[in-house]
Structure 1
């Protein structure tokens, strides 16, 4: 999850869900990413490289452990 992000400098901090450990964003964390802006509380997946968060990306609902959404027909998606 994004704890803080400054778009002017590219500096930011992410928090790992499993143990709430905090990691600074690496300078190239957004390279190749769909993200152009980050907002506080936004859930993301990231890798760690030398203690810094790298390769930020969106995850699937399964990856992030969030509840499934309803389909267009209104039925829950299969698990």
Structure 2
């Protein structure tokens, strides 16, 4: 998508916000996997996925809200809803 600002074309980033739960997380490497609620798709965590969030580490089953980066990795993790704390599909 192109967005025109002051006569210059700039690419605008559109982030789809999703909710899911953490399937696995390794605090020593920062590697992890999140499962999307809607279809149980699995996404690897992007490098820096926790940057700017309240999280310093994650636990299995923790509910999060996230977006996908251009490579399809989970990024911009935030605290998820506490409405349903069960693991999807369990």
TM-score, normalised via structure 2 length = 0.66
Q: Which has the higher strand share?
A: 2
Structure (1/2) with the larger helix percentage: 1
Q: Which 5+ residue runs of structure 1 have no aligned equivalent?
A: 68-79
Is there any run of 5+ residues in structure 2 with no aligned partner, and where? 1-20, 85-90
**Aligned partners of 1:12 and 1:60: how far apart in 2?**
20
Aligned length: 63
Structure 1 residue runs of 4+, over 3 Å off?
none
Query: Structure 1 length normalisation: TM-score?
Result: 0.75
Match of 2:37 among 8, 13, 17: 17
Relative contact order, higher structure (CA 8 A, sep 6+) = 2
Q: CA RMSD in A?
A: 1.2
